[in-house]
């Protein structure tokens, strides 16, 4: 209807992109040096994995056979 304001949607995540939400999520304060580097690398691998299996274009989306070969798994 005209003149009716919509309520803003809920904001479930702090950031607007998948990458930002995963990379900026706080790491454990106990992680230092190599452990912190490994955590960051695991997060990057996770992002790559999710983008592969959740790709909108079905021609570019990974098959289960492709996904199982990803280093994150």
pTM of the model: 0.79
pLDDT of residue 9: 82
Cβ–Cβ < 8 Å for 70, 49: yes
Burial classification of residue 72, based on how many CB atoms lie within 10 Å of its CB (0-12 exposed, 13-18 middle, 19 or more buried): middle
Encode pLDDT of 12-30 as tens digits: 989 999 999 999 999 999 9
Cβ–Cβ < 8 Å for 36, 27: yes
State both tokens at 48: 């790559």
DSSP state of 4: P
């Amino acid at each position: 209807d005209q003149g009716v304001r919509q309520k803003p949607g809920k904001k479930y995540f702090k950031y607007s992109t998948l990458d930002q939400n995963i990379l900026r999520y706080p790491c454990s304060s106990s992680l230092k040096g190599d452990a912190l580097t490994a955590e960051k690398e695991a997060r990057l691998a996770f992002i790559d994995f999710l983008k592969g299996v959740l790709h909108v274009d079905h021609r570019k989306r990974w098959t289960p056979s492709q996904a199982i070969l990803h280093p994150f798994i």
